[in-house]
Amino acid sequence: MKKVIITGASSGIGKALAYEYAQNGYALGLVARRLDRLEQLQEDLAQYGSPVAIRSLDVANDQEILPVFESISDELGGIDIVIANAGITAVHRTGKDDFEINRKVVQINLISAMATVDAAATLFRNTSQFKNRKPSGQIVGVSSVSAFRGIPGSAAYSGSKAGFSNYLGAVRMELKNKGISVTTVHPGFVATELADDMDKYPFVITAEKAAQAIFKGIHKQEANIIVPKLPWSALSRLVTILPDQIVSKVF
């Protein structure tokens, strides 16, 4: 039985991924701030018969990430995949005071996400040394299609995701010969509780549909996953050359 850790597992894509992995026979380590939601999710997932370990963690406290991962690894008997999914969003116009909103977005989506990836790599390396074998494992980072072109009104969010995608690309090359694979996920617009007005955006899909596609891509160890593949695989190239006025009108 393979084991996966998912951060940000109490809602949205993270919760949908928990169901997807449980249905496919994985043992789960679920991490999020809201323990009550994790306890309910643990109870709901019991129907699939897979072990489920839960931990309350605010990834903003990045020094706590590795100890939590190590604790879950001890409980489940190792970890094969770590999915850095925890993230936040915010609509905030530049120059409208309260820069702290932007700071928090960058802290969670970039700094804490990087710390999660670093903790996963450390876990895989330390576990391999303990077991006297080569490192192995898969690290997955959930970014966004906004990494390809910034969304007006969500500049900090777009910047944080662009930075995370760039970071993951570099880490992929660093770990390529270390037995640890790295996958970057670029979801398009997914209907979750993080954004109440998601319906106004194009090509919106459910978290469940996104999770199914993400699971398949991770299973294939794809370097980059764009969800849904159509139309975003084509649009990801197009948006980089679209005039500003068209991008502003769309968003």
Residue bearing the bigger pLDDT, 235 or 40: 40
Q: Average pLDDT of the chain? A: 91
H/E segment holding residue 5 = strand 3-7
Topology (CATH level 3) of domain 3-250: Rossmann fold (3.40.50)
Predicted local confidence at residue 129, as pLDDT: 60
Q: Tokens standing for 146? A: 């906004």
Active site residue ranges: 157
Task: Write the pLDDT tens digit of every residue in 159-216.
Answer: 999 999 999 999 999 999 999 999 999 999 898 876 666 676 778 899 999 999 999 9
Residue 223: which residues within 8 A CB-CB, separation 6 or more? 172, 182, 183, 184
Task: Write the pLDDT tens digit of every residue in 85-117.
Answer: 999 988 878 888 789 999 999 999 999 999 999
Smallest CA-to-CA distance from 240 within 161, 148, 166 is with 148
Q: What is this structure's pTM?
A: 0.92
Predicted local confidence at residue 97, as pLDDT: 77
Residue bearing the bigger pLDDT, 249 or 7: 7
H/E segment holding residue 184 = strand 180-187
User: Contact at 8 Å (CB) between 92 and 102?
Assistant: yes
